[in-house]
């Protein structure tokens, strides 16, 4: 049975070292954090521990430095942002388990927080070899001294069998952070006992990334709305030409099967009826709106590249979302980074906010898109901090970082 953070706090943590796996994997522009959502989400647990007098050591990753020290993946900008937002003292180490981390850990005072460098600077963090990961975990645990504890508050990493996520939890008394517990509780209810109608919006570029998720939701969701780049594989499955739009030909047969099975199991799959096409993948392309079954019939011809859902589809999706009681959304329904092709994603966000549904934004690109469009987190029921982790949970996979905690 998983132990929650409150249990650790009730035991007393004053003067005790607590190793916390946080999620500080934020987007950067140079040394500037461009979306601090995950930093803000990490604050409540760190604040509780600091206020209780714990000596907190934070481990986190940023990007994929592939086991090498690479300045562009330094955790320092995220740690700096944490320090700006926090009401507690934040110290940053220049290494992970080396001399600087050891010295700063030893010097920590009650209520202070130390952020060590990117754990993925050490190749053992992500090693497939259990012994190598275990060795690294032992070195992380050594920073906590004789009476350490471990809290996993990084939902965005729980689908990885990594040393700081999985192996450390086997070495110390381990607890679920509030963030992870909330994520698990929300996703479990969404998957197993949603208030209906339960509507899912699936977007993003590749249908192959979401196939297993869609398959697991068929028979569970009342309606699945398909947008984004993945929608063109659905269009091709219906026998329509898609011009230069992104297409995964090897997935067409699987999509055909889903389109056949979904209504048999009580799930309606709704795809675009029109799309915004461009002659170039840019905000300055020449655009035209085309019916989904005749993308190549306009002025752009075979050069047409579907970049967003069209106005009729926006209305259709909004109508399907209007009466929903539970909504799960993962993936923009157009190229949301371009202003001229973000209208579909904005329309979906507007429809969700206008509905009475409990809404779950499935992290990653979806969360970044709604924030970029000017929406605040509190306009949605729950914004997941882990795109990949939430997808794998909805897919029905066992997540190592959750399993090791007994959740």
Known binding-site residue numbers? 23-25, 38, 61-64, 120, 160, 210, 306, 337, 363-366
| Residue (of 176, 130, 131) closest to 155 by Cα position | 176
* Residues tagged in the binding site annotation for ATP: 210, 306, 337, 363-366
Measure Cα distances from 385 to 22, 26, 183, 213, 344 in Å: 11, 10, 8, 18, 23
Phi, psi angles (nearest 5°) of residue 363: 70, -170
Where would I find the H helices in 289-361? 311-322, 343-354
Query: Where is the binding site for (2R)-3-phosphoglycerate, in residues?
Result: 38, 120, 160
Catalytic option among 16, 21, 38, 55: 38
Catalytic residue among 80, 206, 256, 322: 206
Tell which residue, 120, 160, 163, 103, has the closest CA to residue 139.
163
- Name the binding residues for substrate: 23-25, 38, 61-64, 120, 160
Separation in Å, CA 368 to CA 20, 255, 309, 365: 24, 28, 19, 5
Q: Which of 243, 364, 386, 401 is catalytic?
A: 364
Active site residue 38: yes
Neighbours of 396 (CB within 10 A): 12
- Residue 206 annotated as catalytic: yes
Q: Which two tokens stand for residue 78?
A: 């995220």
**H or E segment to which residue 372 belongs:** helix 364-372
Query: Which residues are marked as active site?
Result: 38, 206, 364, 388
């Amino acid at each position: 049975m998983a132990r929650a953070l409150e249990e650790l706090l009730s035991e007393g943590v004053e003067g005790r070292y607590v190793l916390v796996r946080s999620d500080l994997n934020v987007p950067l522009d140079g040394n500037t954090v461009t979306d601090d959502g995950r930093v803000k989400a990490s604050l409540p647990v760190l604040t509780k521990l600091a206020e209780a007098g714990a000596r907190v050591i934070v481990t986190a990753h940023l990007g994929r430095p592939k086991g090498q020290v690479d300045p562009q993946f330094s955790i320092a900008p995220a740690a700096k942002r944490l320090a700006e937002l926090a009401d507690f003292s934040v110290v940053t180490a220049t290494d992970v388990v080396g001399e600087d981390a050891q010295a700063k850990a030893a010097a920590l005072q009650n209520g202070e927080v130390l952020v060590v460098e990117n754990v993925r600077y050490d190749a053992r963090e992500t090693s497939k070899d259990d012994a190598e990961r275990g060795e690294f975990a032992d070195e992380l645990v050594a920073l906590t001294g004789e009476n350490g504890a471990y809290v996993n508050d990084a939902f965005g990493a729980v689908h990885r069998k990594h040393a700081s996520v999985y192996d450390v939890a086997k070495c110390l008394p381990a607890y679920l952070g509030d963030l992870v517990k909330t994520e698990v509780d929300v996703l479990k209810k969404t998957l197993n006992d949603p208030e209906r109608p339960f509507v899912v919006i699936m977007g993003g570029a590749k249908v192959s990334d979401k196939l297993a998720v869609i398959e697991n939701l068929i028979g569970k969701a009342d309606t699945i709305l398909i947008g984004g780049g993945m929608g063109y594989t659905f269009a091709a499955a219906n026998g329509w030409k898609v011009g230069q739009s992104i297409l995964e030909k090897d997935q067409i047969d699987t999509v055909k099967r889903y389109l056949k099975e979904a209504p048999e199991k009580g799930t309606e799959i709704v795809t675009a009826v029109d799309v915004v096409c461009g002659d170039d993948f840019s905000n300055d392309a020449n655009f035209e709106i085309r019916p989904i079954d005749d993308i190549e019939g306009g002025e752009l011809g075979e050069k047409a590249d579907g970049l967003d859902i069209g106005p009729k589809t926006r209305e259709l999706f909004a109508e399907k979302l209007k009466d929903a009681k539970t909504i799960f959304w993962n993936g923009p329904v157009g190229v949301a980074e371009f202003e001229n092709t973000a209208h579909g994603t904005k329309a979906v966000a507007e429809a969700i906010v206008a509905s009475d549904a409990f809404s779950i934004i499935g992290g990653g690109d979806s969360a970044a898109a709604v924030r970029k469009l000017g929406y605040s987190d509190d306009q949605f029921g729950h914004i997941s901090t882990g795109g990949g982790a939430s997808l794998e949970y909805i897919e029905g996979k066992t997540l190592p970082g959750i399993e090791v905690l007994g959740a």
